[in-house]
Structure 1
Amino acid sequence: MEFQYENSFEVKEKINQSKIAILPIGAVEAHGPHLPLGTDNLLAERLSEKLAKHVNGFVLPTLPYGQVWSLRNFPGSINISNNSLIGFLVDIGESLYKQGFKTFAMVNGHLGNQTALKEAARVLYESCPKMRVFYFFYPGMNKAAAEVREKSSAHNTYFHACEIETSYMLYLAPEHVDIDKALTDIPDIPLHADSTPTPWEEFTKTAVLGDASLATEEKGKYIIDIALENMVKMIEELKE
């Protein structure tokens, strides 16, 4: 169900029947020459739609901007602060709570947002004690990705416009992938990048962290299906 297309006369009864709100959260940032700036929005939105069908939830309008400090200097990137994102999410969550929602699932398509999502969830834990708040970022993906990956990752945490994320796009939003432009860029990411602010232009000119040419729809489906199963399981186990 898409929340924005409901009307005020009928939506209250539907909220009472569902009580689950799903918010896709993405970003606008560089994703190499083969993926669009809104890649993270597309992934979060398409995954949220799948999740909603499994749990009978409402999909809220996508929150399309995120914290992209690391890539803020690349052409096309739009950055907002963690504080702005936290405030926005808390306001949305508290409004949903007042409307009667008991589960608020934030489906994140951009790793840089995760700190803000976690902090917002902690604030809502205190202010909305009867609402369960989730901050999902492809739960279970690390093990699944290791099983299908053909080349080593450039980083033990980051994945970006690479074999993995491009596979996600080939599965969830293939019409937005120009696979003929996919390139290989496996940068040497310095150790200090995990311990001090490090803009990505210090180690990559493409914003690609891997071999995007190895991406396939099958790899994307395998990982996404596992993440989806895990999200559904958590929501069903912990709702109300």
Structure 2
Amino acid sequence: MEFQYENSFEVKEKINQSKIAILPIGAVEAHGPHLPLGTDNLLAERLSQKLAERVNGFVLPTLPYGQVWSLRNFPGSINVSNESLISFLVDIGESLFNQGFRTFAMVNGHLGNQTALKEAARVLYETCPEMRVFYFFYPGMNKAAAEVRDKKSAHNAYFHACEIETSYMLYLAPEYVDMSKALSEDPIISMAADFTPTPWEEFTETAVLGDAKLATEDKGKYIVDIALENMVKMIDELKG
């Protein structure tokens, strides 16, 4: 169900029947020459739609801006601070609670948002204790990705415009992928990047962290479907 297309005369009863709100959260940032700036928005939105079908939830309008400090100097990137994002998410969550929702699932398409989502969820834990709040970012993907990837990741946590994320796009939003422009990059990311602020232009000129040419729809489907199954299971077990 798409929340923004409901009307105020009928939506209250529908909320009472579902009580599950799903918020896609992404970002606008560089994703190499083969993927659009809004890649994270597309992924979050389409994964949210699949999740809503499985749990009978409402999909809220996508929150299209995120914390992209690492890539903020690349052409096209738009950065929002953690503080702004936390405040925005808390306001949304409290409003949803007041409307009668008891499960709030934030489906994140951009790793850089996770700190803000976690902090917002902690605030809502205190202000809306009867509402279960999730901050999902492809749960279970690390193991699944290791099973299907053909090339070792450039970093133990980051994946960006690479074999994995491009595979997600080929599965969820293939019409926005131009594989003729896909790059194979092997950036050297120092250990220090995990322990001190490090803008990504220090180790990449393309924002591609790996071999996007190895991406396939089948790889994306395998990983995304596992993440989806994990999200469904958690919501079903813990929904308010």
TM > 0.5 fold call: yes
Taking the aligned partners of 1:191 and 1:223, their CA distance within structure 2 comes to 27
- Structure 1: runs of 5+ lacking an equivalent: none
Matches within 5 A, 1:84-233: 84-233=84-233
2:39 paired with 1:39: yes
Identity fraction in percent: 87
Taking the aligned partners of 1:186 and 1:194, their CA distance within structure 2 comes to 18
Counterpart code for 1:66: G
Taking the aligned partners of 1:164 and 1:235, their CA distance within structure 2 comes to 25
Question: How far has the Cα of 1:162 moved from its partner?
Answer: 0.1
Question: How far has the Cα of 1:125 moved from its partner?
Answer: 0.1
Question: How far has the Cα of 1:195 moved from its partner?
Answer: 0.4
2:71 paired with 1:57: no
For residues 14-38 of structure 1, the C-alpha deviation after alignment (integer angstroms, 9 at most, x for no partner) is 0000000000000000000000000
Taking the aligned partners of 2:44 and 2:95, their CA distance within structure 1 comes to 21
Extract structure 1 runs of 4+ deviating beyond 2 A: none
- Secondary structure in structure 1 of the residue aligned to 2:78: coil
Taking the aligned partners of 2:175 and 2:186, their CA distance within structure 1 comes to 25
For residues 62-121 of structure 1, the C-alpha deviation after alignment (integer angstroms, 9 at most, x for no partner) is 000000000000000000000000000000000000000000000000000000000000
- Secondary structure in structure 1 of the residue aligned to 2:33: coil
- Secondary structure in structure 2 of the residue aligned to 1:23: strand
- Secondary structure in structure 2 of the residue aligned to 1:223: helix
- Secondary structure in structure 2 of the residue aligned to 1:29: coil
For residues 205-240 of structure 1, the C-alpha deviation after alignment (integer angstroms, 9 at most, x for no partner) is 000000000000000000000000000000000012
- Secondary structure in structure 1 of the residue aligned to 2:126: helix
Taking the aligned partners of 2:53 and 2:186, their CA distance within structure 1 comes to 37
- Secondary structure in structure 1 of the residue aligned to 2:22: strand
Taking the aligned partners of 1:187 and 1:4, their CA distance within structure 2 comes to 41
- Structure 2: runs of 5+ lacking an equivalent: none
- Secondary structure in structure 2 of the residue aligned to 1:46: helix
Taking the aligned partners of 1:150 and 1:18, their CA distance within structure 2 comes to 41
RMSD (CA atoms): 0.2
Counterpart code for 2:210: G
Counterpart code for 2:236: E
- Secondary structure in structure 1 of the residue aligned to 2:133: strand
Q: Under a length normalisation based on structure 2, what TM-score does the superposition of the two structures give? A: 1.00
For residues 35-63 of structure 1, the C-alpha deviation after alignment (integer angstroms, 9 at most, x for no partner) is 00000000000000000000000000000
Taking the aligned partners of 2:136 and 2:239, their CA distance within structure 1 comes to 15
- Secondary structure in structure 2 of the residue aligned to 1:133: strand
Aligned residues: 240
Taking the aligned partners of 2:102 and 2:140, their CA distance within structure 1 comes to 24
Taking the aligned partners of 1:32 and 1:83, their CA distance within structure 2 comes to 28
Question: How far has the Cα of 1:156 moved from its partner?
Answer: 0.2
Question: How far has the Cα of 1:186 moved from its partner?
Answer: 1.3
